[in-house]
Structures are given as structure tokens and as C-alpha cells.
């Protein structure tokens, strides 16, 4: 007993000692991390000579998401990388969104960030390319072939200044999943404008069917419906709305823009088309209710297609259409965005090797790319897989190719604006007396507080 304790004491002592001796390096460390932004751009020109190490190395990668069976990132990718680069071991960890943001931020603060990290386009989320590139944490990838392949939209989503810092590889979309059997039974077809959509809801409601189920306890799901309407009501008229928000030319409070979007979406709650207990159930539970045939529709993203198609208590055929937020006689726009993609940490010791992995992964024809596309989480826009679109997504891809689509609005706003919108909107539907004009004012205030440039 005594020996054990002394052992523990020694351990504690050495830990403290080692921490103290390292204290002296503090100042040097700090100054070097301060101008990380300037050094990385210099490195970029020198480190692209393409010679890879032949030593055995481990590259770490952190992604957000849930590890499923035969998961692409955590299981398939490391295996394929090992086959292509026998001396490289890829260690992939996956964390749920919120945990991912926290972990990424603290890892960057401690200087031990993974070599490859998941980024979000533009301003979206705490791992947005712009905030990370601004702080000098990202390695420019402009000259990679994979970036070339991704196309202009993908490059635009991952650009900061003159450089591209992340690889956008596929499109993801927001839409309306519907129960085809219920629609047929009630003689309904896919609506093409807002009035038709409201009519659909009314017919279903009259037939005693809950038209739409949403899990607003997870407030982010409000974006799924709102952004689809906004694509039609705000961005179809003014594609540069978000850019002008930053210059102050437009405001959320401008009449006929976001107030209209929120008003339209709120109608669905006022009329009971979306179930009135929505604030008490989670996103997960809402999907379940749809799958169990308890509601005819739900707004969700293409990323949840697998869960939506899982079998429930009743069997029925699922369909997917863009929520028609357009007025009668106007064109329909969809909400389609370049999804998250990998970037490389500028402090990584293995930048060239990490680049080589990304090149192979996103070349459009390698085994890695094929496995990635076959995993079904993205809709490929080039190379293998781009010619065989899931029929569920066909309408969206067509609109995307016609240029009738807009990215998800939060990609254009500093992170936090959308959560203010969600919080205020749930006050409005929760009977707290919050009006639409309160919401847009709140959004505008939050935007101005968060946007600093």
C-alpha cells in the first residue's frame, strides 16, 4: 500500500516537473503561432514539388459524422490508402457535429490538430473554410488536380482570397420527402408552386392525415424548410443577397425578402400542416414518424436518404421533391449546395503525403473515389458515378444543371446567425408572441454583431 502511494507520488511529481520545465518554451511557441498565416503561404510554393517520404508515417484525419457499418471514412478509406501508399497509415476518427467543432477548436489551440480535417463551405459552421483560412490554419490546395475537377461552384465554395483551401466534391440538397402511396390515395401529384403545395396539405389534412412532420426540438431542422423557400423568394430575385448583406446594401429586414419566407413557413404551423407538438420531438423521432407512415411529408436533406428509406411499421414508396416556394407562374428553384469536404492543416508534418491522398481520393476514377461515390452520401458531379444519379435526386440535379438552385443560406452567413433565426422562430411558433418582424430584426442584429471585417 505504502509503496504504491509513493509510486503515485513520484508519478505526480514528474508530471508537474516536466510541465514546469516546458514552461520556458512558452514565448517562442506563441510568437510562431501568431504569424502562422504568413508562413503557410510561403510554404505552399516550396512544398509542392511532390516528393513523398518513403518512411512509415501515420496521417491523422478527423471528420464529423456517425460511424456506420463498413463506414467509408473510418473503415474503407484507411484500407484503400494503405493499398495505394504502403508506407502510410491513415488514422480516421469521427465525431458528431457539435463534438467535432469543440474538438477541432481545442486541437487547433493545443497545436495538435489532425493532418486532414473536414471543412464546411464559405461561412457555414465553426469549421468553415473562411474562418479557418483567415486564422492561417489551412494549407492552400489551389494547384491540386482534384480542385480543378470539382468545378467552379466547388472552388467558389472553398475559396478564401486567391486560394482554394478545401475540396468540394459533390452536391447535397434539401427537399421534401413524401409518401407516394398517401399522395396517390388522395389523388395528389407533386406540387409545382406554393399554392399547389398548400392545397396538397389541406387535402391531406381533410383526409385526416398529418401533412408534415418536423422534429423542431432539434432546431436546425427549421433550416430544411426555410432555405428551400428562400431559394425561391429571396435568391431567385437577387442571387447576391448574402454578399450585399455583408456590404450593408441589403438587410434581413428588407421587405419582401426574409419576412416573406418566414411568414410563408409560419403558415404551415398556423394551419396545423406541421404537427403542433413539433417543438417536443427530435429530428430523429420525426424521421421515425414519417417512416412509420404517421405523416405524409417531412423536410430533410439528401444526406438522410438512407434513414428515410429504412423500413418502418408500414411499407410505402418514398418520393422527394423540391419544396415549391415559388409563386404561381414563376420558375422553381431548389436548395442545392456543395457539401463539406476535406482540407489540410497547415501545421501538419506530412503536407505532401496528405495532398497525395486527396489527389487520389478525388481524381474521379480511383478505387477510393468509386468507393466514396458508392457509399452514397454525395451526388457526384464529375467522374465515375456522375452519370448514374439516384432517381430520387434527379429533379434536383436537373435544376442544379440549369442553374436554378442556390446554396444553403447559412453558408453565406457567419455561424450563429441561423441559430438566432431558429431560436426566434421557435418562439414564434411556440406562442411566445414573437412576430416575423422581430425575427428578421433579431437576425439582422446578430449578423451585424458576428460579421467583422
121-140 positions binding another protein, by CB under 8 A: 126, 131-132, 134-137
How many CB atoms are located within 10 Å of the residue 253 CB? 16
Q: Is residue 328 close enough to count as binding another protein by CB under 8 A?
A: no
With CB under 8 A, what is the number of residues at the site for another protein?
105
Applying CB under 8 A, which of residues 426, 435, 441, 448 lies at the interface with another protein? 426
Q: At 241, which helix (H) or strand (E)?
A: helix 241-247
Q: Is residue 195 close enough to count as binding another protein by CB under 8 A?
A: no
Q: Angle at Cα 375 formed by Cα 373 and Cα 381, nearest 5°?
A: 25
Question: What would the grid cell of residue 163 be?
Answer: 486560394
Applying CB under 8 A, which of residues 86, 161, 256, 280 lies at the interface with another protein? 280
Measured CA to CA, the distance from residue 43 to residue 47 in angstroms comes to: 6
Applying CB under 8 A, which of residues 72, 73, 74, 165 lies at the interface with another protein? 74
Determine contact, residues 61/102, Cβ cutoff 8 Å: no
Site for another protein in 220-279 (CB under 8 A): 220, 277-279
Residue 190 or 450: the one with the smaller Cβ distance to another protein is 450
Measured CA to CA, the distance from residue 229 to residue 335 in angstroms comes to: 9
Q: Is residue 120 close enough to count as binding another protein by CB under 8 A?
A: no
Dihedral sign (CA 248, 252, 253, 257): positive
Q: Is residue 166 close enough to count as binding another protein by CB under 8 A?
A: no
Q: Angle at Cα 353 formed by Cα 349 and Cα 356, nearest 5°?
A: 150
Residue 17 or 328: the one with the smaller Cβ distance to another protein is 17
Rounded to 5 degrees, φ, ψ at 327 are -75, 160
Residue 31 or 189: the one with the smaller Cβ distance to another protein is 31
Residue 114 or 364: the one with the smaller Cβ distance to another protein is 114
Q: Is residue 291 close enough to count as binding another protein by CB under 8 A?
A: yes
Site for another protein in 172-191 (CB under 8 A): 172
- C-beta of 438: minimal distance to another protein in Å? 11
Residue 352 or 427: the one with the smaller Cβ distance to another protein is 427
Q: Is residue 33 close enough to count as binding another protein by CB under 8 A?
A: yes
Site for another protein in 330-349 (CB under 8 A): none
Applying CB under 8 A, which of residues 15, 239, 240, 328 lies at the interface with another protein? 15
- C-beta of 3: minimal distance to another protein in Å? 12
Question: What's the count of helices (H) and strands (E) in the chain, helices before strands?
Answer: 20, 13
Residue 157 or 172: the one with the smaller Cβ distance to another protein is 172
Q: Is residue 431 close enough to count as binding another protein by CB under 8 A?
A: yes
- C-beta of 139: minimal distance to another protein in Å? 15
Length of the chain in terms of residues written: 453
Measured CA to CA, the distance from residue 300 to residue 227 in angstroms comes to: 11
- Residue listed under C-alpha cell 469536404: 341
Applying CB under 8 A, which of residues 41, 304, 366, 386 lies at the interface with another protein? 304
DSSP per position, 373-397: HHTTSSEE-SSTTTTS--GGGHHHH
Q: Is residue 281 close enough to count as binding another protein by CB under 8 A?
A: yes
CB-neighbour burial class of residue 97 (10 A; exposed 0-12, middle 13-18, buried 19+): middle
Q: Is residue 57 close enough to count as binding another protein by CB under 8 A?
A: no
Determine contact, residues 150/382, Cβ cutoff 8 Å: yes
Amino acid at each position: 500500500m505504502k509503496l504504491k502511494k509513493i509510486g503515485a507520488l513520484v508519478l505526480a511529481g514528474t508530471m508537474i516537473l516536466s510541465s514546469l520545465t516546458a514552461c520556458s518554451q512558452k514565448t517562442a511557441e506563441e510568437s510562431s503561432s501568431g504569424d502562422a498565416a504568413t508562413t503557410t503561404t510561403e510554404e505552399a510554393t516550396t512544398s509542392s514539388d511532390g516528393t513523398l517520404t518513403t518512411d512509415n508515417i501515420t496521417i491523422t484525419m478527423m471528420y464529423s459524422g456517425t460511424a456506420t457499418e463498413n463506414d467509408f471514412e473510418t473503415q474503407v478509406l484507411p484500407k484503400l490508402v494503405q493499398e495505394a501508399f504502403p508506407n502510410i497509415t491513415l488514422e480516421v476518427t469521427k465525431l458528431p457535429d457539435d463534438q467535432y467543432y469543440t474538438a477541432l477548436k481545442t486541437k487547433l489551440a493545443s497545436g495538435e490538430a489532425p493532418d486532414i480535417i473536414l471543412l464546411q463551405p464559405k461561412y457555414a459552421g465553426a469549421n468553415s473554410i473562411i474562418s479557418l483560412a483567415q486564422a492561417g490554419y489551412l494549407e492552400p490546395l489551389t494547384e491540386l488536380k482534384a480542385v480543378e475537377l470539382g468545378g467552379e461552384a466547388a472552388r467558389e465554395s472553398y475559396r478564401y482570397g486567391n486560394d482554394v483551401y478545401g475540396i468540394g466534391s459533390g452536391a447535397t440538397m434539401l427537399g421534401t420527402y413524401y409518401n407516394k402511396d398517401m399522395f396517390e390515395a388522395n389523388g395528389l401529384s407533386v406540387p409545382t408552386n406554393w399554392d399547389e403545395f398548400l392545397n396538397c396539405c389541406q387535402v391531406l389534412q381533410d383526409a385526416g392525415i398529418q401533412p408534415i412532420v418536423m422534429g423542431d426540438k432539434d432546431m436546425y431542422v427549421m433550416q430544411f424548410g426555410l432555405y428551400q423557400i428562400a431559394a425561391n423568394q429571396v435568391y431567385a430575385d437577387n442571387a447576391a443577397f448574402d454578399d450585399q448583406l455583408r456590404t450593408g446594401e441589403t438587410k434581413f429586414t428588407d421587405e419582401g425578402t426574409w419576412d416573406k419566407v418566414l411568414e410563408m413557413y409560419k403558415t404551415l404551423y398556423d394551419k396545423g400542416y406541421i404537427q403542433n407538438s413539433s417543438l417536443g420531438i427530435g429530428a430523429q423521432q420525426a424521421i421515425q414518424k414519417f417512416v412509420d407512415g404517421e405523416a405524409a411529408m417531412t423536410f430533410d436533406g439528401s444526406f438522410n436518404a438512407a434513414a428515410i428509406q429504412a423500413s418502418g411499421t408500414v411499407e410505402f414508396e418514398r418520393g422527394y421533391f423540391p419544396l415549391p416556394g415559388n409563386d404561381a407562374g414563376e420558375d422553381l428553384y431548389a436548395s442545392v449546395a456543395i457539401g463539406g469536404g476535406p482540407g489540410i492543416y497547415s501545421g501538419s508534418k506530412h503536407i505532401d503525403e496528405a495532398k497525395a491522398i486527396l489527389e487520389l481520393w478525388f481524381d474521379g476514377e480511383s478505387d477510393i473515389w468509386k468507393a466514396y461515390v458508392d457509399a452514397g452520401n454525395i451526388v457526384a458531379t464529375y467522374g465515375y458515378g456522375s452519370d448514374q444519379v439516384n432517381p430520387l435526386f434527379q429533379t434536383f440535379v436537373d435544376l442544379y444543371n440549369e442553374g436554378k438552385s442556390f446554396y444553403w443560406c447559412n453558408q453565406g452567413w457567419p455561424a450563429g446567425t441561423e441559430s438566432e433565426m431558429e431560436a426566434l422562430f421557435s418562439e414564434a411558433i411556440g406562442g411566445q408572441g414573437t412576430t416575423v418582424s422581430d425575427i428578421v430584426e433579431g437576425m439582422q442584429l446578430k449578423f451585424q454583431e458576428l460579421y467583422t471585417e
